[in-house]
Amino acid sequence: MGFSSLDYGIVILYLAGVTIAGSYIGRKQHSSRDYFLGGKHLSWWSVGFSIVASETSTLTFISIPGLAYKSNMHFLQLAIGYFVGRLLVSMIFIPAYYKGDLETAYDFLGKRFGMQLRKFTSTVFIITRVLASGVRLFATAIPVHLITGLSYPASILLIGSFTLVYTYVGGLKAVVAMDVVQLFIYLSGAVASMALIVDHLPNGWADVVAFATAGGANKFEIINTNWGNSLVGFLASPYTFIGGVLGGTFLTMASHGTDQLLVQRLLGCKSRWDSQRALMLDAAFIVIQFAFFLVLGVCLYAFYGGVPFQQLGLTSSDEIFPKFIAENLPTGLAGLVIAGVLASAMGTLSSSISSLASSTFLDLFKKSKQGESLTAARELTWSKAFTFLWGVVLIGGALLFTDTKNPVVELGLKIASFTYGGLLGTFFLGLLFKRTDQRDAFAGFIAGVLAMVAVLTLTKIDFTWHTFIGCAVTIAVGNFSRLFRRASVPS
């Protein structure tokens, strides 16, 4: 039906409203603690919803419905692991974080092993987050370009500029508040789309069920019982039950326990109990959200009569939801859904900018000679400077991409995946193995990363196993290093 003036008006109103509101909410900042941790006075429910919005990028908004369209609901096995992983983080990581007055995730490693490891792991986070966030921002521009007709650079600048303004002015408090708003905006757009699809079908939901089960499609199948005929086939098969649950568990422990992008919010809560409540709210909500987006994909499958996406002139299943939005949503509703796409993107981008700035300032700059004697006012000035710097870097990096087949895209995603296992294993060495020291942690982390390089380049092992393998190697080598040092000490 096309994108009308009304739709553009809705999008502009959304962008302006979010920017002004976010800037106003977070206007009172007096120190880096206020700016990066909300003064440690954030409500648990806002943090919980903020985490959901932060981890729900446009890739999720677009890709999950496409995944169900071309296959089934096996992805929910991974979501089960996500729930288990969050439960373990709340039981193991959060109590450790609240024993000390920690500022970042890597502050724990600094107190446990030494400042060198804190700076090293923080640097690893910064590098991988820049690559992954640049990729995500460019990917966001794809549906915006397809639906509105704006060029890729214009789409990136539109999203990035407005996000940077309220993140720069308001800090974490603004990021969390706007995340909550954006969460319900993008969910409203998705719910409206599903309602329109079901209403369009002659027999409503009965048609969705009919198409989902016709011809052995089994679109509603969740548990994958086909695990291959060999160990190699099992490890290479996507979304097996064991691989999905185990992979989701370890991936979540890495992302929610060691990644400053999400840990920053958990550290901003008033107490350990509030932090745990926030994470369990996120755990329950994220499973429901993934289930909803998968069902939306099945509804799209019924809407297009069960036709494979290739026969619709599409090159990827990711394009099926943008196609529906561009061609079938009435005036006004299309603007709401695009606002939802932007909301999911801005929630993730603002979190990336804030976490990069906080890790750079608190882990690296503040611990340098230049940063040791700063006043609270100067800390705030430097904090905002790093926020602006990383915002410009992410926007500029996304503008360098020209197409989704660029090898840098693949490189960025692979780097983000293979460092998670090493980081998680290093945190476990600090949490569970009291006799390991900084040398053991360094040896384990480097071994974990090298192991993932080998897995990614020499095998076809599915991504659901990557974090588990990297974590296991890191823990094993770290403990072997400790035993080797003990054996080499003269008696």
The domains of the chain, with CATH numbers, are: 5-404 (1.20.1730.10), 405-491 (no CATH)
pLDDT, tens digit, 9 for 90 and up, residues 243-274? 888 888 998 999 899 988 888 889 999 899 99
The three-state DSSP-derived secondary structure of 121-151 is HHHHHHHHHHHHHHHHHHHHHHHHHHHHCCC
pLDDT at 402: 57
* Helix or strand holding residue 301 (H, E): helix 272-303
CB 268 within 8 A of CB 37: yes
- The dihedral over CA atoms of 296, 244, 79, 446, expressed in degrees to the nearest 10, equals -120
Cα(442)–Cα(117) distance, rounded to whole angstroms? Answer: 7
Closest CA to 186 of 48, 69, 319, 348: 348
pLDDT at 417: 67
Closest CA to 419 of 134, 132, 131, 125: 125
Per-residue CA distances from 203 to 208, 278, 302, 323 (Å): 9, 40, 11, 23
Tell me the two tokens of residue 32. Answer: 């880096």
Task: Collapse the DSSP code of 42 into the 3-class scheme (helix H, G, I; strand E, B; otherwise coil) and give the result.
Answer: strand
pLDDT at 407: 40
CA 65 to chain CA mean position, Å: 17
Tell me the two tokens of residue 222. Answer: 């969740």
pLDDT, tens digit, 9 for 90 and up, residues 74-133? 889 988 999 999 999 999 999 989 887 788 889 999 999 999 999 999 998 888 888 778
pLDDT at 489: 58
* Length of the chain measured in residues: 491
Phi, psi at residue 451, to the nearest 5°?
A: -60, -40
Angle at which helices 115-148 and 105-112 cross, to 10°: 160
pLDDT at 26: 72
**Which residues of the chain are under the pLDDT cut of 50?**
405-411
pLDDT, tens digit, 9 for 90 and up, residues 438-482? 999 999 999 999 998 898 888 888 778 888 999 999 999 999 999
CB 194 within 8 A of CB 299: yes
